[in-house]
Structure 1
Amino acid sequence: MTLRENDPESVGGYRIESRIGTGGMGVVYLARSASGRAVAVKVVHTRYADDVEFRARFRQEIAAARRVSGAFTAPVVDADAEAARPWMATAFVPGSTLSQRVEASGPLDWPALRRLGTELAEALREIHRAEVVHRDLKPSNVLLLEGGGDDGAVRVIDFGISRAADSDVRTQTGMVMGSPPFMAPEQFSSPHEVGSAVDVFSLGAVLVYAATAHSPFEAENAYLAAYNTVHGEPELGQLPAPLLPLVSACLAKEPADRPTSSEVLAALADLPEDLTAGEPADEPVVEPSRTPVAVASEQTMALTPNARQAEPKRRRKVLWVAVAASVAVLGIGAAAFAVVTDEPAPSVESYDALARESASGGGASAGWQPWHRALTADGDGTQMSIGSSCTPDALGVFCTSEQVALTRLDPATGAVDWTKPMSRKQVSGFSVREPVVHDGVVFTNSTDRSEGIEAFDARTGERLWQLPGPLGEFHSLSGVLLVHLDKLGDSDTARYAAYEPRTGKELWRHELTSSSVSPFYEGPKGTLYADLRGGAGGIARLDARTGRTLGKVTAPDDGLWLATVHDGTAYYARWENDSGVSADFVVQDLTSGRTRRIDFPWSVEPEAPPLVQGDTMYIFDYGNETLLAYDVKRGKPLWSSSRDLRIFSEPAYYEGRLYVTMPDTSILALDPRTGKEISRTDPSFDTAGRSFEELSPSGVPPLLVGDVLYGVSGPGVFSVADVS
């Protein structure tokens, strides 16, 4: 692979010649030492350089790779985990990966297959003797040397997620550690408690792939492959008969039922070198040890909870009311969250009605044309700074930052229509919140930096009313503006008030005790749901205009996060040991109080609550940048987007399609039944050479108004025609 413009010329004194490949953690280069020795240099991505936990994991990778250097692994030559961009150099192994070999030439013949299995088993035996668990053995991590040799034809590479048995480095929350469909079931169901048995399971899967050109749990996407691994039986295809007992034992669901790597090696050594003379009279059968494999227990990344912080922490934003129809996802942080009902939500209706006032050409405003606007600071202060928070709306795109209190971008051209300046007063702990738009009124942080609220006419920019700060969160639900009257603190007791959006008239005020940071959810026909767990208990239904309690049901225990409420049903995520990742949901009927549980084949990061549409729940797995679809009624997964696709925003649902923003600032339309791509817009920004920080996933889903899409991403905001 040719070098790119921003690739380094040298790393640690090694001259870079070309790219070998790239992955989630970094880039691997072919390089030369001063003496001309060829090495493979792995350089971690810039986005991880300042991550203390990642540096700890990279040190662990270096230590693990050095610990197991031997005949069947690539030895470590040099490394620097403290460099600005940490790196590690290993001996360069000329050859191709097992996946490349099978793709080019098809399944291996018996002699090559037997040799592959024997050498992989011996490599795993040495790795496990060094008290290391690889955890990501797959065809692309198995190198086949050109011409083989007396010292073996196989090398096991990439110890990026391996773990030493005596390591205390914690696993990053939400990371799916491995590569479906070659992972063991416990890597999905109990990712923090895996031992050497996972490598034996992967070895069995790799042998099936080498013999048949497919994994034993093949599926059209990684999510279904994971489901098959946990719940299904392996597809062994035309696996040679002598291997069937051994591979079946390796693929046992329970770790204790699998043989050890030493037992696998012994069984493979007993197999005939040539099958042409006929099948052996007695096939060797592996009798796995019944002693449970010593599990290298891996701690979760603890998110220390208290009574008011039991919810995910990464991006505590309440966007679902700020944007037309909000979205859903699973990951580690309660962020933007949207519920789209079977009937269009009132906010969507109001957007479309407002758009029709000036409609021209099928829903686009008069004079509309595609536009994009970078959010960079300039001298006159009319643009936002990087990191601005923007909310698209039919009346415009409304942005705020620490420099500018509120700016309206014209929805037709993207030009700055009006701006409300922010006070230059220095305030400790001041933070920006996304503008909230409701029926032609936009709500934002007060311009005096007091952390109060100001309401402006979305068309003219006229200030309508204000509340002095400091105040907590605010959002529009069921036709009222709900305001947390206290700043977020450690107290369980909180005061909330509801205001008429356009006049600012206070409608009611309540003091309540709740373990939820955001206890209110939109209900049907002018009602609200209040999560009162931690106080009076249960989920209460309120009249949004009067605050009067209309009913209440007993809720599940306080250890669950109420992720979303849709169509009279509550969806709770169950955190794994307060880690911020979830492997199951509890679903509750808010009329009868009945509950049931739905399981996922792996633990996911609810970066925002799920988007529910009919009987389907769409989940944005922030940690893996994938979108998952789950049939709630039948309790089964439907599809997931490929992790190679890299979904970069929460999803939105309009007119029978799902929309998501991609890293290159294009917008993708997906069939919600199958996850298949329907259409994709052209990118609005040139993202070549952009860092991860500039292209970070967005909490704002695309907005569709008529036939025009509005998107928000790291590089800026943009408007394009819907091509679906």
Structure 2
Amino acid sequence: MTLREDDPRTVGGYRIEARIGTGGMGVVYLGRSVSGRAVAVKVVHAKYAENDEFRSRFRQEIAAARRVSGAFTAPVLDADPDAERPWMATAYVPGHTLAERVTEEGPLDWPSLRRLGTELAEALREIHRADVVHRDLKPGNVLLLEGGGEDGAVRVIDFGISRAASSDVRTQTGIVMGSPPFMAPEQFSSPRDVGPAVDVFSLGAVLVYAATGRSPFEAENAYLAAYNTVHSEPELGRLPQPLRPLVSLCLAKEPTARPTSAEVLETLAALPEEVTDGEPQGSPAPVVTETVTTLPPVAGKSGRRGKKVWFAVAGAALLGLAGTVVGVNLDDAPAASPGRAGVRATGTPAVPAGWKPWHNALASDKDDPKSMGMGSACTPDALGVFCSSPTVALQRLSPATGQVDWTKPMSDKQVSGFSLSEPVVLDGVVYVNSADRNEGVDAFDGRTGKRLWHLNGPVGEFDALSGVLLVRLDKLTLQEADDGASYAAYEPRTGKELWRRKLVSKSAQPFYEGSDGVLYADLRGGSGGIARIDARSGRTLGAVTPPKGDLWLATVHDSTAYYARWEDNTGVSAAFFIQDLTSGKTRRIDFPWSVEPEAPPLVRGDTMYIFDYGNETLLALDLKRGKPLWTSSRDLRVFSEPSLHDGRLYVNLPDTSVIALDPRTGKEIGRTAPSFDTEGTSFEELSPSGTPPLLVGRVLYGVSGPGVFSVADVT
């Protein structure tokens, strides 16, 4: 990538030639030493350079990388953690990451996959011998060499969140470091106590990705990936049969049930160099049966609980046995659980225990305090469906049955006016209009229903973005459009105020989510343009001047702003402006017809999906070429905002069925049966939903005019 205007031209005496990539902590550049040697120079982001914790973490990365420099890592050549912008130089490794390789060429064949596994296992063995835990092994941190006779050789990079296994350095409370969906369950539940077993879990996930193109815990967003990792069985797809038992044990939920990196290496090295034509690539893994055959004990192995079970399953893979586990000592094995006493087949769809299709009409009943009634606002989530109404502050519907798990009543206090927002969910915390009816905010634990904290009202809009809860502290008035309004950001679980600022904006909801803990604020109407703000500190990091005209900032995605141009204040648009929020460069895309996008469009990659309320159609737009890809049939009558899960677009239809579309062509893949009987219901009662369908595992959750429903994913 070419250098940007604000990129340095030299760092520590190294001449900077190009950008290699950008990570969570910094930017990596291709540099040259005085003698002409190519080096990779990592420079910490300016926003972190003044943060003592990140400087400490960077020193930790340098120390870890120096300790493990070897055949499978890039050796450290130079570093200055005390510079104004801390930096580190390592040997430049020409090649592509595993993520780039799989994206461009598809999954690896068996010889490449076996080589990848053995070299990664050997790299982890050396890393762990140096008493270091990497903690962020993922396809983007695995380099495959090119040239010099080493094509395909592996290098492990980026020790940005590693630490010594015996170190007292701990992750800051409340911050989970890593990259879902390649993190181990304990990195979410107890991140301060992780050990080498997390790298083994990540190795298993990386092997599945390399063989299938997907993580075993793939999801639409990081939160759902984390949920799948902790609660769901891995989806191994067409992982070659010889690897399935080993990978399943690497992905065991309990760290003690996983093999060590040395044991993984030993097993992988013993696998055949070629897979015969008769061996199925994606058949289920062996499972424990009543029949056992005893082998001599393996010498020199750890006596950890469950270890004999692991050797038995690994042996089954090596010997090509199906249905029998060799060498199991049933007296020594713990009680059966996934990944311990046997390897489960993973073809079963991930659904909540006891789940069946359900629907809940949320009917109004004045004598029932748990009744939601008309005017309910609901938000589906992996934890359940959260609903609020003028009579109920919050209740959770079970994701398995649709029945009420718990209810938080609304005060009977009479007020002159009352606003109701959809529940906002962030990392298991649910935010709603306060139960005291004073237009404040209540934060509830989404699992238990316990109120975690309360913000006194009246306040305006609130939303969870970039890891914080943003609240407009005063109500919208005409005067404030000129004088500005006060906003504050809060720690999601504790309610601690992080910062407070007064901002001038024409928008009542000026904030948009960015990456790497960044917020974007639409400050048109003042002098700020489109500002980039640190979500944790509230500090302005930069700004760009927006394009001129009567434009609605429809959405921000991947540091790019998408504006719709209103036609004579009608709410109809025939053009979009796309602006790079780093450089400020803007280009225009014209539609072949006018659309009515009342809600933000969905942007994924180079495609924008727009729900046209006026025509009840879905439009897909190629952002690179500026041309429509397809539009759904007018006869289909799309009736909700779209969502994108597992390579499919999902939308609600008026009859409360859900349809899946191919995002490339708009062709129908399948649809569910209607959840409600809508015959004879008026059009007004079937008004379009602003809530798109949510896919969790293999279960869909939807919100429609008649109520809330859950159905199995279309086949």
Equivalent residue for 1:688, pick from 679, 688, 711: 679
- For 1:364 and 1:428, locate their aligned partners in 2 and report how far apart those are by CA, in whole Å: 44
SS, match of residue 489 in structure 1: coil
What is the one-letter code of the residue matched to 1:583?
Answer: A
1:440 aligns with 2:428: yes
Q: Is 1:368 matched up with 2:355?
A: yes
Residue 346 (1) aligns with residue 334 (2): no
Find 1:651's aligned residue among 627, 633, 642: 642
1:704 aligns with 2:695: yes
Structure 1 residues 345 and 398: alpha-carbon distance in aligned structure 2, compared to 1, 3 A threshold: same
CA deviation string 1:129-158 (max 9, x = no partner): xxxxxxxxxxxxxxxxxxxxxxxxxxxxxx
Cα offset for 1:555?
Answer: 1.2
- Corresponding residue SS for 1:501: coil
After superposition, what is the alpha-carbon deviation per residue over 1:145-189, rounded to whole angstroms, capped at 9, x for unaligned?
A: xxxxxxxxxxxxxxxxxxxxxxxxxxxxxxxxxxxxxxxxxxxxx
Q: Secondary structure at the match of 1:407?
A: strand
Correspondent of 1:405 among 387, 393, 414? 393
| Preserved CA contact (<8 Å) 1:562 1:572 | yes
What are the superposed Cα offsets for residues 208-250 of structure 1, whole Å, 9 maximum, x if unpaired?
A: xxxxxxxxxxxxxxxxxxxxxxxxxxxxxxxxxxxxxxxxxxx
Q: What residue in structure 1 maps to residue 611 of structure 2?
A: 620
Structure 1 residue 429: Cα displacement: 2.1
Structure 2: which 5+ runs fail to align? 1-217, 234-252, 254-337, 339-345
Unpaired runs of 5+ in structure 1? 1-341
Q: Distance in 1 between matches of 2:222 and 2:531?
A: 22
Cα deviation per residue 1:487-523 (whole Å; 9 max; x = unaligned)? 1221120111000100000011111101122111000
Task: Show CA shifts across 1:184-214 (max 9, x none).
Answer: xxxxxxxxxxxxxxxxxxxxxxxxxxxxxxx
Which position in structure 1 is the counterpart of 2:500? 509
- CA, structure 1 residues 693+354, in 2 after alignment: closer, same or farther (shift >3 Å)? farther
TM-score, L = length of structure 1 = 0.52
SS of the residue aligned with 2:411? coil
Cα distance, 1:485–1:588 mapped onto 2, change above 3 Å: same
Instruction: Give 1:526 shift.
Output: 1.0
Q: Secondary structure at the match of 2:225?
A: helix
Give 1:469 shift: 0.6
CA-to-partner distance for each residue in 1:513-571, whole Å, 9 max, x for gaps?
01122111000111111111111232111111111111211111252111001111100
Q: Does 2:478 match 1:487?
A: no
Instruction: State the distance in 2 between where 1:343 and 1:385 align.
Output: 33
Query: Residue 632 and residue 487 in structure 1: after superposition, are their counterparts in 2 closer, same or farther (change >3 A)?
Result: same
Please, what is the CA RMSD of the aligned residues? 1.8
2:371 maps to which residue?
383
1:464 has 2:459 as partner: no
Residues 531 and 541, structure 2, Cα contact 8 Å, conserved in 1: yes
Separation of aligned partners in 1, 2:627 and 2:378: 36
CA–CA distance in structure 2, aligned partners of residues 517 and 374 of structure 1: 32
Report how many residues are paired. Answer: 383
State yes or no: 1:562 paired with 2:553. yes
Distance 1:354 1:719, change over 3 A: farther
Letter of the structure 2 residue corresponding to residue 459 of structure 1: R
| CA–CA distance in structure 2, aligned partners of residues 343 and 706 of structure 1 | 8
Question: 1:365 is paired with a residue of what secondary structure?
Answer: coil
In 1, distance between residues paired with 2:576 and 2:532? 22
Contact 2:465 / 2:512 at 8 angstroms: preserved in 1? yes
Please state how far the C-alpha of 1:667 moved relative to its aligned partner. Answer: 0.6
How does the TM-score come out when normalised to structure 2?
0.52
* Identity across matched positions, percent: 72
Q: Does 1:583 align with 2:574?
A: yes
Q: C-alpha displacement at 1:613, in angstroms? A: 0.9
Partner Cα separation in structure 1 for residue 509 and residue 222 of structure 2:
21
How far does residue 346 in structure 1 lie from its aligned partner after superposition?
2.9
Distance in 2, Cα, partners of 1:687 & 1:401: 23
1:678 aligns with 2:679: no
Are residue 634 (structure 1) and residue 510 (structure 2) matched?
Answer: no
Deviations 1:314-364 (A, max 9, x none): xxxxxxxxxxxxxxxxxxxxxxxxxxxx99433343453465399994321
Contact 2:555/2:600 (<8 A) preserved: yes
Question: What letter is aligned with 2:437?
Answer: R
2:375–2:390 CA contact under 8 A, matched in 1: no
User: Following the alignment from structure 1 to structure 2, what is the Cα–Cα distance between the partners of residues 679 and 343?
Assistant: 20
Determine the structure 1 residue equivalent to 2:72.
none
Q: Is the 8 A contact 1:354 1:395 kept in 2?
A: no
2 CA distance for matches of 1:393 and 1:344?
12
The AA in structure 2 aligned to 1:531 is D
Distance 1:631 1:439 in 2: 33
Whether the 8 Å CA contact 1:407–1:417 is kept in 2: the answer is yes
Partner residue in 2 for 1:597:
588
Q: Please say if 1:419 is aligned against 2:407.
A: yes
Q: Which residue of 2 aligns with 1:550?
A: 541
SS at match of 2:371: coil
What code does the residue aligned with 2:680 have? G
Partners of 2:219 and 2:383 lie apart in 1 by: 22
- The amino acid across from 2:616 in the alignment is E
Distance verdict in 2 for CA 1:355–1:717, change over 3 Å = farther
CA contact (8 A) 1:351 1:393 kept: no
Would the aligned equivalents of 1:355 and 1:365 in 2 still touch at CA under 8 Å? no
Range with bigger deviation, 657-666 or 534-543: 534-543
Do the aligned partners of residues 355 and 382 (structure 1) sit closer, same or farther apart at CA in structure 2, a change above 3 Å counting?
Answer: farther
The 1:450/1:355 distance shift into structure 2, 3 A limit, reads farther
